[in-house]
Homo-oligomer: A and B are copies of this chain.
């Protein structure tokens, strides 16, 4: 039997965590060959230079695709996507994969989908079927309709993909590979490094060892990017006022990143907060360990909904970004208001009933994904079932 060439396109730092264990499983599978393409902000220093971590993890990168237009506004997001289609069309033409994998719902992921589908290459979509409510929502479901195989992360997501008319034989609940990483941390959660020593970052020393610490990760919400700056200021004020040691992570690339980043920079200049230390990026494993030992994660990152639920970390989720995603009891939702955020953090760090849950996977998703890719007969012909 012929080896199937599986081309995976990683376009951003957070997507890498959501696929890493699957990449390893594909690479090691006797019936599969991995063709790894790194594109978009995953190549850029400004967004955490994911490519370095990927190479350090031992993966061979088949192609690097520079496609991000500067501007960080809706127009440049659209143009980045269009350029991505053109570039990835070339890449797939050259690599001639048997299947292409597109991950989740970032705006540029549809470029992968179009470049593959239009060239009659079977398209695998990871983590469709979820619900949010902004441009990601449109992109995710459009990816579903362009894809031939659906590897979703929860039962709820599976039911939704089926309702949308996809062929039941092609929809699999594999769980999310990010939970595989969380599983390792859950089994061995010791914080075996000093974050500031290892990663440097910017800002004052904070006394996290004795007092414990919060973690903040807040991304701009694309369709409301004008208010990104105002939003982040509320969180900054809340965290500043609480005056607990805090590790704050810069946002990834999105329209409005300038708003969020600008808000942070300006706050830092004016208030010189003595309780906050800023990081640009961290290796995924280290990041999860940091979370596992934190008092609470604050912001709007999906890591709070997924990994933190599995590990059992308290989370204050702010705003609409994770809108309708399934969540566990670890999460408390709130709005962009300093006082509400303070109240929510106080609730979480004093709560005693936070338990681990299996909503987004059981720790074996990566291998499951590789096995399905190996065993499923891949095709690019599909028709809606109703």
How far apart are the CA atoms of A113 and B132 in the complex, in Å?
Answer: 19
A84 partner residues in chain B, CB cutoff 8 A: 82
Given contacts A94-B63, A120-B74, contact A114 B82 (CB under 8 A): yes
Given contacts A83-B82, A89-B82, A383-B133, contact A74 B142 (CB under 8 A): no
Q: Are B66 and A75 in contact (CB under 8 A)?
A: yes
Q: Are A380 and B83 in contact (CB under 8 A)?
A: no
Q: Which of B107, B111, B386 contacts A82 (CB 8 A)?
A: B111
Q: Does A210 contact B (CB under 8 A)?
A: no
A165 partner residues in chain B, CB cutoff 8 A: 141, 160, 163-164
How far apart are the CA atoms of A371 and B9 in the complex, in Å?
Answer: 42
A287 partner residues in chain B, CB cutoff 8 A: none
A382 partner residues in chain B, CB cutoff 8 A: 137-138
Q: Please give me the residue from chain B that is nearest to A324 by CB atom.
A: B383
A83 partner residues in chain B, CB cutoff 8 A: 69, 82-83, 86
Q: Please give me the residue from chain B that is nearest to A73 by CB atom.
A: B66
- Report A111-157 residues with CB < 8 Å from chain B CB: 111, 113-115, 117-120, 131-135, 137-139, 141-146
Q: Which of B66, B78, B138, B381 contacts A145 (CB 8 A)?
A: B138
A64 partner residues in chain B, CB cutoff 8 A: 93
A163 partner residues in chain B, CB cutoff 8 A: 163, 165, 386
Q: Please give me the residue from chain B that is nearest to A143 by CB atom.
A: B142
Q: Are B115 and A78 in contact (CB under 8 A)?
A: yes
Measured CB to CB, the closest approach of chain B to A374, in angstroms, equals 24
How far apart are the CA atoms of A299 and B238 in the complex, in Å?
Answer: 43
Q: Which residues of A contact B (CB under 8 A)?
A: 41, 43-46, 63-71, 74-79, 81-87, 89-90, 93-94, 107, 110-111, 113-115, 117-120, 131-135, 137-139, 141-146, 160, 163-165, 202, 223, 258, 269, 323-324, 380-384, 386
